[in-house]
């Protein structure tokens, strides 16, 4: 008897959940590493390591790299959006709290369907909007316990970060089926590496202390949270929608808390527990509603 095979869209969504787990789990590692490294230098080393790993893994032929300049431009655009998101997020963290940064970055889940609808000139499905609204409310409860929503300089910079990540998801969703996930991943990561390498030495004072924590953080983020994660994202977005991708990425603060609990014993408040439950509910609504509608 043959084993049942999950629909390709569900396999793609599970793959996205897996890389979101990686991103959430590396939050504590990166935070500790940045005590011994300047932000942009750390990003330059992280993206450079990922570029080398992807080049060795994919080994693209010259005809694959030069076959279509306009398609490759999509990979460059994805890399610019990716680097901009990370840069603005780090800049915003200088002037706002980590919890507000997490919430505002998470607003990309609202921006993705809104920008997608604007580009396609059609409204998103009702259950997608409902899932986005529920997950956004959950993220607010999880990351903003008792904080003011007044926007300051850091919050505005972080809002730009959310926009960058939202556009990145849309760009990857458009180009992954056309360019191929291998080429798209290599081009976007190498673009982000080039931007970081060209800016770390003048935007801020370079600093790095080669301690074990920094080396481990670079290996984990460069190989797992960048090379593997963005390769999996580009593959998965060939088979799922940008809105579902953004919703699944809303799990990152949930996974970050789980990691923090396992490593430090940090407990989640009642508001945080309800927020995590609402994020899961929003994702399940979008995942299960189409299946229920099809079965009718």
Give residues with Cβ within 8 angstroms of 104, minimum separation 6. Answer: 92, 96, 155, 158, 159, 161, 162
Quick one: pLDDT band at residue 60, thresholds 50, 70, 90?
Answer: low
**How far apart (Å, rounded) are the C-alpha atoms in residues 146 and 179?**
45
pLDDT in tens, 217-261: 999 999 999 999 999 999 999 998 888 898 888 887 777 777 766
Answer yes or no: is pLDDT of 180 > 60: yes
Are residues 113 and 268 in contact, defined by beta-carbon separation less than 8 angstroms?
Answer: no
**For the residues 81-104, what does the mean pLDDT come to?**
79
Average pLDDT, the chain: 81
Give, in order, the Cα–Cα distances in Å from 215 to each of 138, 227, 282.
Answer: 35, 16, 37
pLDDT in tens, 263-292: 666 666 677 677 777 777 777 776 666 544
**For the residues 32-38, what does the mean pLDDT come to?**
85
What is residue 238's DSSP assignment? T
How do the domains of the chain map onto residue ranges? 8-295
What is the pLDDT at residue 197? 95
**How far apart (Å, rounded) are the C-alpha atoms in residues 146 and 275?**
13
Which of 3-7, 23-27, 136-140, 192-196 is predicted least confidently? 3-7
Question: Of 100, 107, 81, 111, nearest to 155 (Cα)?
Answer: 100
What is the pLDDT at residue 294? 40
Alpha-carbon 17 to chain mean position: 11
């Amino acid at each position: 008897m043959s084993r049942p095979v999950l629909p390709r869209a569900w396999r793609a969504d599970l793959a996205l959940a897996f890389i979101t787990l990686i991103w959430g789990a590396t939050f504590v590692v990166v935070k500790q590493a940045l005590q011994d490294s300047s932000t942009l230098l750390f990003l330059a080393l992280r993206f450079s390591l990922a570029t080398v790993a992807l080049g060795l893994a994919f080994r693209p032929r010259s005809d694959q790299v030069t076959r279509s300049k306009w398609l490759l431009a999509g990979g460059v655009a994805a890399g610019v959006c990716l680097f901009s998101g990370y840069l603005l997020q780090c800049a915003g963290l200088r002037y706002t709290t980590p919890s507000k940064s997490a919430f505002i970055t998470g607003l990309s889940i609202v921006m993705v369907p809104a920008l997608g609808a604007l580009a396609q000139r059609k409204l998103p499905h009702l259950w997608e909007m409902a899932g986005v609204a529920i997950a956004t409310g959950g993220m607010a409860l999880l990351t903003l316990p008792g904080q003011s929503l007044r926007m300051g300089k850091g919050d505005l910079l972080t809002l730009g970060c959310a926009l960058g990540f939202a556009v990145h998801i849309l760009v990857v969703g458009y180009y992954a089926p056309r360019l191929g996930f291998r080429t798209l991943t290599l081009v976007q990561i190498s673009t982000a590496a080039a931007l970081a390498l060209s800016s770390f030495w003048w935007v801020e004072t370079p600093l790095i202390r080669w301690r074990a924590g920094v080396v481990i953080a670079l290996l984990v983020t460069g190989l797992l949270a960048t090379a593997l994660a963005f390769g999996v994202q580009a593959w998965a977005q060939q088979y799922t929608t940008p809105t579902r991708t953004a919703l699944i990425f809303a799990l990152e603060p949930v996974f970050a808390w789980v990691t923090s609990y396992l490593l430090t014993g940090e407990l989640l408040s009642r508001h945080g527990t309800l927020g995590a439950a609402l994020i899961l509910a929003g994702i399940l609504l979008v995942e299960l509603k189409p299946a229920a509608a099809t079965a009718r």
